[in-house]
Chains A and B, each alone.
Chain A
C-alpha cells in the first residue's frame, strides 16, 4: 500500500507538514532528525510511525545518502517536508535516488494507487497549479495553513544510519539564542523598513509593551541599519515564528521575511502602500502612516 513520508528537522513546521500528509489519503510515517523531544512532539500528531535519527553527534545532512537508501527500499509515494535547510538537503538525496518529480510551495498532496496529485501555489500565491505524476513525488510544503490535530501517539523508534565522514560540526554559535523569547511568544510586533527613522522604534517598543509582545524585524534593519541584533530577525534562513498574533509595521511583505512568519495564526499589517504584497498575506491590514497609526493603536490596546 502507498505511504507518505514526512521529514522533520526543525521544531516549527512539523504540524503543518503533518496536516498535509494526513490529508493525502495514505498513511504517513515521520522521519525526525534531532532529539527525543522533537520526536515526541511529532509522534503526538498521530503518524503511523516515527523514526528518530539522533543528530546530537552528527550532522543530519551527513545521513542523507543512508536515508535515500531507506527510501529506495520502502518506496514512499510522496516525501514531504518544510523548506527547512536540513530537510531540503535530505529530500534532494531522496528525490534523486527515487527519480522523483519535485515541487515547492505545495499546499496539498493526494495519493492513490498509481497516481499522486499535487497542488502548488504559483504567481505569488495568486493561483494554484495542479500537477500529477505516476511516480514518486518530493514536495516542499508551503508555509502557513492548517496544523494537524493531535492523534494517537505513535511509538518512537530509534533509527540507525551511517553518516558521511566528510562533514563535521566544529562549533555552534548561538550567543543569546537561549534567551530569545521570539520562538515561544504569543504575540510579536514586527518592524520593517517602512517604520522610517530610528526614533520611531520607541513607538514600536511602547506598542509591544502594551500588547505584551516580543519585537522582531526584517533582515535589512539588522544587517544594513544595525538597529537590531541578529536574533531578532525572522525570515528565510534565520528564524521562523508562530505566534497567535503577528503585527507587522512598515513591512512590504517580502517573501524572505514572510517565510518566517506564515506560521502566525493572525497576521496584521500596517503600511502606507496599499499595493504592498503584505496586504495579500495578512488577515487584517491598515493602509496608513505607521507613525500616525501606532500611537492610536497603543492607546486603544491599553484601554481594551
Chain B
C-alpha cells in the first residue's frame, strides 16, 4: 500500500493583503512550504513502514521538498488558482491522491490558515479524518496515531484508510543538507492538471474594515508612567 504526504499546498498568510480596490491580493503568486509540512512527511514515512510514500504538492517553488526528506516520487498539481477556496484546494488534492495507485493513508499539515482542507480532503476520499496529529507508528499490523487531546494526548488505532492532519510541535531540527537537496531534485516528479470542477464556492463580494476597537498602547520608555496608565485602565475594566 502507498502513503501520500501532502506538502507545500497553502499560501503563506503573511503575504495576504487587501488592495486599494478592496480585493484580496497575494504578494507571492504560489504556495509555500508550511510550518507543519516537515512533520506531515515524517508521519507519512513512519506510518508507511516498508511501504511506498508518494508526495503530492502544488507545482511551484520547491517541489523537491519531500524528495529531500525521503520521498521517492512526487506528484505536482498544476493550475490551482492562488485565490482558490478551501473546497477547490481539497478537490485538487483529492483528485491528485486518487491518481496515485493503492493509497490507504494521507498525511497533510494541519494548517492553521486552511483549517478545513484536511477534513474536506478526507470527505472527498470517503475516509475519516484525524486532526492535530503528533505522530504515527505501525504496531502489529495496526496503525497507532497519537494526537493532541486537550492538555494531553490520545492514542488511536486506525484500521483502514484515513487522512491525518499533522500539527508540528517545533521547527524541523535536522534539515537535509545541500547534497540531499541536489539528489532530491533528480527524483521523479509527475505533473498533473488540477481538477476542481464541481467544488462549491462562495461568490466573493467586497471587503470592509473590521469593527474591532484599536489597541491602547502605552510608551514603556518611562516604565512607571506606563504601568500607572495600564493599572488605571485595568481597574476601569474591572479586571484588577
Closest approach, in angstroms, between the C-beta of A2 and any C-beta of chain B? 17
A148 within 8 A of B: no
> What is the predominant secondary structure among interface residues of chain B facing chain A?
mixed
Are B157 and A167 closer than 8 Å at their CB atoms? yes
Are B227 and A293 closer than 8 Å at their CB atoms? yes
A90 to B208, CA, bound (A): 31
* A 211-255 contacts with B by CB, 8 A: 219-220, 223-224, 230-231, 236-239, 244-245, 255
A138 to B87, CA, bound (A): 10
Query: What number of A residues sit within 8 Å (CB to CB) of B?
Result: 101
Interface string of A142-183 (1 = CB under 8 A from B): 000000000000000000000011111111111111001011
Are B131 and A131 closer than 8 Å at their CB atoms? no
> What is the predominant secondary structure among interface residues of chain A facing chain B?
mixed
Given the contacts A122-B16, A166-B128, A92 and B221 also touching, CB distance less than 8 Å? no
| Chain B: CB-nearest residue to A277 | B14
| Chain A: CB-nearest residue to B198 | A99
B118 within 8 A of A: yes
Are B215 and A102 closer than 8 Å at their CB atoms? no
B13 within 8 A of A: yes
Closest approach, in angstroms, between the C-beta of B109 and any C-beta of chain A? 12
Question: Of A13-21, A23-31, A45-53, A295-303, which binds chain B?
Answer: A295-303
Residues of chain B within 8 A (CB-CB) of A279 are: 215, 217
B237 within 8 A of A: yes
Are B215 and A284 closer than 8 Å at their CB atoms? yes
Residues of chain A within 8 A (CB-CB) of B110 are: 85, 237
Interface string of B193-237 (1 = CB under 8 A from A): 000001011111111111011011111110110111011011101
Query: Besides the contacts A89-B131, A166-B158, A282-B215, what 5 more A-B pairs have beta carbons closer than 8 Å?
Result: A61-B128, A124-B16, A128-B207, A129-B207, A170-B144
In the complex, the 9 A-B pairs of residues with the closest C-beta atoms, listed nearest first: A288-B220, A92-B119, A96-B123, A174-B152, A166-B160, A131-B202, A85-B131, A130-B205, A237-B132
